[in-house]
């Protein structure tokens, strides 16, 4: 059965543009599990490209019993809104940065500790290994299901409309947008910036209207969300690695019979692996493309940033928050931090 309300909701989003997949009438009539997957990224980002293939494969391999409709680009609201929807069951699937998820699951921000990861090999070893398992355990306690493979957002870079960031002195006092997460705010305060918590749905406008002068994101997002139109400088600070947990509402997930769950999970995790490769390739090639569009790049040394975090007590403070056991799992993966 499909309620009138659901038809209206799905129908009106389709009209708003961007619903991916088969027309909703066919889906509603044929699929036993008509689920929504929502996210905050543009259609052109590898996350949505791979998710579309994933949804098609799931539909095919489940003989139409599981049909996932994708709502990209904050169509269903900001990350904060979507997090409450996936908790209540208003949406069944949602990809969210672990750092933002930490507003609900404090342990989930640990991979975002400043300058923790030197490279992608270390990231995937940790996130597909003990550190990821530790975080997923905490997510499960919050009644959400996290798929095994975290999707890549990337190493984050700093853009501004005003100046290059060369040393920690340049972070002083800049009005920088950060996602809604205590770790982000804490880190940019430790760098003596003036961080403002703003959901991604508002970032382009906030930069355009100069509510803030700066933001930080991986190149794949600076490109696909067209932030280069409203930012001039890009400093390759690589200050943290960020990824998206593919989350499911627990009740909705458990409603799916085990044999179908297996097909769904496999396709989601496979799509995540492909998305990782896509983002890696994109980030590697984008500097030139963004420079051609007018962005001015520089590559600062991380030393002054890291020293400031260390001497200001940032690592000690967060070690205390996560606890010794979690910190030991992190340091086992990345080496001694403080």
Which residues are at the interface with ligand X2X (CB under 6 A)?
Answer: 40, 97, 100, 153, 179, 200, 217, 221, 242
Nearer to ligand X2X among residue 66 and residue 230 (C-beta): 230
Nearer to ligand X2X among residue 114 and residue 179 (C-beta): 179
Q: How far is the CB of 324 from ligand X2X (least distance, A)?
A: 27
Coil, strand, or helix at residue 305?
Answer: helix
* Residue 57, both tokens: 């494969």
Nearest to 175 by CA among 194, 202, 197: 194
Nearest to 146 by CA among 248, 229, 237, 228: 248
Coil, strand, or helix at residue 39?
Answer: coil
Q: How far is the CB of 335 from ligand X2X (least distance, A)?
A: 25
Nearer to ligand X2X among residue 112 and residue 300 (C-beta): 112
CA distances from 119 to 146, 155, 200, 220 (A): 24, 9, 25, 17
β pairing state of 157-160 and 233-235: antiparallel
Nearer to ligand X2X among residue 68 and residue 225 (C-beta): 225
Q: How far is the CB of 132 from ligand X2X (least distance, A)?
A: 17
Q: Rg for the chain (alpha carbons), in Å?
A: 20
Coil, strand, or helix at residue 44?
Answer: coil
Q: How far is the CB of 97 from ligand X2X (least distance, A)?
A: 4
Q: How far is the CB of 300 from ligand X2X (least distance, A)?
A: 20
* Residue 260, both tokens: 């179908």
Nearer to ligand X2X among residue 31 and residue 98 (C-beta): 98
């Amino acid at each position: 059965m499909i309620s009138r309300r659901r038809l209206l909701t799905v129908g009106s989003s389709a009209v708003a543009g961007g619903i991916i997949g088969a027309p909703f009438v066919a889906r509603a009539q044929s699929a036993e599990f008509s689920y929504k997957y929502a996210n905050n990224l543009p259609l052109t980002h590898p996350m949505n490209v791979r998710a579309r293939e994933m949804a098609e494969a799931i539909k095919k391999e489940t003989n139409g019993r599981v049909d996932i409709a994708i709502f990209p680009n904050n169509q269903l609201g900001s990350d904060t809104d979507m997090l409450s929807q996936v908790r209540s069951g208003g949406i069944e699937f949602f990809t969210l940065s672990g750092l933002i998820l930490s507003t609900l699951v404090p342990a989930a921000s640990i991979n975002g500790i400043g300058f923790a990861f030197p490279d992608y090999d270390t990231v995937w070893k940790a996130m597909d290994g003990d550190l990821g398992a530790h975080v997923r355990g905490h997510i499960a306690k919050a009644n959400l299901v996290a798929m095994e493979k975290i999707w890549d957002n990337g190493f984050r870079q700093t853009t501004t409309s005003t100046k290059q960031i060369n040393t920690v002195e340049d972070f002083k006092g800049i009005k920088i947008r950060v996602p809604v997460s205590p770790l982000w705010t804490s880190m940019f305060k430790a760098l003596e910036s003036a961080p403002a918590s703003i959901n991604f749905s508002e970032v382009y406008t906030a930069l355009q209207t100069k509510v803030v002068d700066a933001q930080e994101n991986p190149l794949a997002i600076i490109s696909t969300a067209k932030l280069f139109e409203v930012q001039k400088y890009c400093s390759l600070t690589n200050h943290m690695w960020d990824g998206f947990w593919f989350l499911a509402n627990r009740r909705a997930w458990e409603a799916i019979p085990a044999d179908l769950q297996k097909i769904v999970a496999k396709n989601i995790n496979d799509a995540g692996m492909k998305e990782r490769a896509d983002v890696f390739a994109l980030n590697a090639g984008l500097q030139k493309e963004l420079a051609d569009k007018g962005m001015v790049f520089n590559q600062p040394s991380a030393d002054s940033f890291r020293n400031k975090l260390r001497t200001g007590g940032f690592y000690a403070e967060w070690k205390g928050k996560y606890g010794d056991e979690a910190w030991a799992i992190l340091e086992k993966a990345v080496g001694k931090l403080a």
